[in-house]
Chains A and B, each alone.
Chain A
Amino acid sequence: MYLENIILHNYRNYGDINFTPSPNINYIYGENAQGKTNLLESIYYLLTAHSFKTKNEYELVKWGGSYLRIKGKVWVKGDISNINIYFSNNKEKKILVNGKEVKRDSFFSMFPVVIFHPEDLLMIKEGPLLRRKFLNREITRMYTRYWKYLQQYYRVLRQRNSLLKDQAVKRKDLESWDEILCFYGSKVVYLRMKFLNKLDKYFKEIHGTFTNNKEDVRLYYKSCVNLEEVTQVDKTGKDKITEKEIYNQFFNLLKDKQEEEIKKRYTMIGPQVEDFNVYINNKNIKKYASQGQQRTAVLSLKIALFNFLEENNKFSILLLDDVFSELDEKRKRAVLDFVEDKGLQCFITSYEKKVIPAEKNSFAVYKLDGGGLVNENSGKFN
C-alpha cells in the first residue's frame, strides 16, 4: 500500500497543502514546531480517522477555523481509493471512500498504518491503560471481530458493576450476568493472547537485528487466568491456547471472587484490568532498562507490528516521528536499512538533515518550514 497524494485544508498549523510523496522513503526535516508531527498525524488520520495525539478532535481544526478537510489517494494492491474526510466544529464528521460514506468503526481497519512517535515511550513507562489501548486498537486492526467482542464485554461489565454498586445485591441476580461476561471476556482474552504470541515472534526477530542479538526480548500477557494452563500442545506439537479453558478459568475465578466483589462493589477480574509486560533478557523493561533501551524496544514493537500485518497480507505504511533522537549510530543505520530493504513507503521526521548517510540517495528529502514543504531533490515546492 502507498499514499500517492494528500491534501490538507485547515489541519493543525496547515492552511492548504498538497503533498505528493515518494512511494519509498520520505525524509522530512525541520526545526521544532514546524509541523512535522502534525503532518504524520494527518496521514495517520487520513488512513484511520483517529489521531494518535488526541481524543478531542476539535484540536485538529486550525485555530480560528470552523472545519477541516483531508483528501487522499491511496493505492492498495493495484486499486486506488479516494479518501475524503470532513470534520467541523459542530461535530459533523464524514468519511467518504470513493464517494461512499463509511462508518468510522469499519474504516479503522481498512487502511493499515503503523506509527512510532516519541510519546509511545509512555506505553512502557506508565501504567497499564496505554498498553491496553494499544492492544485494543491493534487487535481490532488484525481481527475485526475483536472490537465487537470488546464492546459487548463492556456492555455486560457496565450492567454487572451497576448491580454490584447496589448494597443489597442478590447472588442469583449477579450470577445471571456471569455466563455472558465470561462468554465475551474469554473471547477478548483469547484474541489478546493469540495476538501477543504472534507479535512476540516478530518482536524477537527485529529486536535481535537492531541490537546485534545482544538483547533477547519477550512479550508476556498478564491475565487473571493462568496462561500455562490454558495453553495446550496440539496434535502438530504446537502450543495452542484454548478459548474454552479461558472461559472455564474465568468462570471459576468469578465464583471464588464473588464474596470479595460484593464487598468491594465492582468486578475485579477480566480484560479491563489485564496488562502485558515487556522483558529484556528476562528483566522487566519498565524497571531495569535504560531510556535508550526502552525506546529501541518500542520501535521494535512497532516494526514487529508492521511485519505481522504484512504476513497477514496487510501491507502498511510506516510513520516514524522523531525516531532518531535517542538511538546510537548503529541502531539508526539498522532502522534505515530495514525500511530500505523492505521497499515500503515510509515517512521519517527529524530535526536534522545530517542523519542520512550519503549513499542513501534514494530518499526523498523535504525541508519543512512554517507549514510549507520544499522537496530538496527537485527543489519543487509542495
Chain B
Amino acid sequence: MHYPQSLQELINTFNSFPGVGPKTAQRLAFYLISLPGEEVEKMARAMVKAKKRLRYCSRCFSFTEEEQCNICSDTGRNSFTICVVQHPRDVLVMEKTGQFKGKYHVLHGALSPVEGVGPEELNIPRLLERIKNEGVKEVIIATNPNVEGDATASYLSRQIKPLGVRVTRIAFGLPVGGDLEYADELTLGRALEGRIELE
C-alpha cells in the first residue's frame, strides 16, 4: 500500500531530520496531521519565522536576530576573555554555569580532515582577528573532549600563543570522547575552574 503523496512527503521530511529514523518519522507525521489546523499553522509559522530572523552574530558567530548577539553587545561583560566553543548550543551550556563573564567565539565544528574540515572551514581566521583587535588577554578553549576537539585546541594554541595571549583548555572532569552538550553544569563549572594551561 502507498500513502497519499502529501503524507509520504511529510514522512520523508521528518526522516531527513538528524537522529530521526523511518519509524519515528511516521509517528511524527501521524501526530502532526491529528492536530487542529491552527496548531499546525502556528508550528509552520514558528519555523519560517526562526529561519527568516536568525543569523550569525557578526562578531562571535552565535545565533542572533540582530547584527550582534546580546552577549557581544553586553557592555557589562569583559572582552578580555574569549571562550571558544564548537557549536552555538555550547554557548548556552556554558552560560548555565553562571561562572563565565567574558565573550564567546563559535567555530561551527572541529578540525576533521576525513570530512574535509580544515581551519578555513571553521571561523578561525576571524577569531585571530578578534584577538588582535579587541585586546584579548586570555582564550579559553572549550572544544569537545574528543580527538577532533583536542586537535582543534592544539591548532588554536599554536596560532594564539605567539600573539602573547594566555591559552587555556577546559578539560577537568569532562568525559573522554564526549560532547560538551552532555556535560552537566556542575562538572562544567568545575572544569572552568580547573582549566589547564596549554603548552
Expressed in whole angstroms, the Cα–Cα distance for A14 and B155 within the complex equals 57
Q: Is the CB of A166 within 8 A of B113?
A: yes
- Interface segment, B15-23, B77-85, B143-151? B143-151
Cross-interface CB contact of B147 among A162, A166, A172, A180, cutoff 8 Å: A180
Interface residues of A in 163-178 (CB under 8 A from B): 163, 166, 172-173, 175-178
Known contacts A152-B147, A180-B150; A173 and B112 CB within 8 A of each other: no
Q: Is the CB of B152 within 8 A of A176?
A: yes
Q: Is the CB of A176 within 8 A of B155?
A: yes
Give per-residue flags for A198-230: 1 if the beta carbon is below 8 A from chain B beta carbons, else 0: 000000000000000000000000000000000
In the assembled complex, A158 has its CB within 8 A of some CB on chain B: yes
Number of interface residues of A (CB under 8 A): 19
Known contacts A172-B155, A173-B118; A163 and B113 CB within 8 A of each other: yes
Who on chain A is nearest to B198 by CB? A179
Q: Is the CB of B152 within 8 A of A159?
A: no
Interface residues of B in 108-133 (CB under 8 A from A): 111-114, 118-119
Chain B interface mostly: helix
Of B111, B119, B150, B177, most A-chain CB atoms within 10 Å: B150
Expressed in whole angstroms, the Cα–Cα distance for A188 and B137 within the complex equals 37
Q: Is the CB of B147 within 8 A of A176?
A: no
Tell me the minimal C-beta distance from A143 to chain B in angstroms.
16
Expressed in whole angstroms, the Cα–Cα distance for A179 and B111 within the complex equals 14
Expressed in whole angstroms, the Cα–Cα distance for A179 and B147 within the complex equals 10
Q: B152 contacts which chain A residues (CB < 8 A)? A: 176
In the assembled complex, A7 has its CB within 8 A of some CB on chain B: no
Q: A173 contacts which chain B residues (CB < 8 A)? A: 111, 113, 118-119, 155
Expressed in whole angstroms, the Cα–Cα distance for A27 and B113 within the complex equals 55
Q: Is the CB of A172 within 8 A of B148?
A: no
Who on chain A is nearest to B111 by CB? A176
Tell me the minimal C-beta distance from A35 to chain B in angstroms.
40
In the assembled complex, A155 has its CB within 8 A of some CB on chain B: yes
In the assembled complex, A156 has its CB within 8 A of some CB on chain B: yes
Q: Is the CB of A180 within 8 A of B155?
A: no
Q: B150 contacts which chain A residues (CB < 8 A)? A: 179-180, 183
Cross-interface CB contact of A156 among B118, B151, B155, cutoff 8 Å: B151
Expressed in whole angstroms, the Cα–Cα distance for A353 and B145 within the complex equals 59
Q: Is the CB of A158 within 8 A of B111?
A: no
Q: Is the CB of A176 within 8 A of B113?
A: no
Tell me the minimal C-beta distance from B161 to chain A in angstroms.
12
In the assembled complex, B154 has its CB within 8 A of some CB on chain A: yes
Who on chain A is nearest to B116 by CB? A162
Tell me the minimal C-beta distance from A255 to chain B in angstroms.
14
Q: Is the CB of A159 within 8 A of B155?
A: no
- 25 CB < 8 A contacts A-B: A148-B176, A152-B176, A152-B177, A155-B147, A156-B151, A158-B114, A159-B112, A159-B114, A159-B148, A159-B151, A160-B113, A172-B158, A172-B159, A173-B111, A173-B113, A173-B119, A175-B154, A176-B151, A176-B152, A176-B155, A179-B150, A180-B147, A180-B150, A180-B151, A183-B150
Beyond known contacts A173-B119, A176-B155: 18 more, CB 8 A cutoff: A148-B177, A152-B147, A152-B176, A155-B147, A156-B151, A159-B114, A162-B113, A162-B114, A163-B113, A172-B158, A173-B111, A173-B118, A175-B154, A176-B151, A176-B158, A179-B150, A180-B151, A180-B154
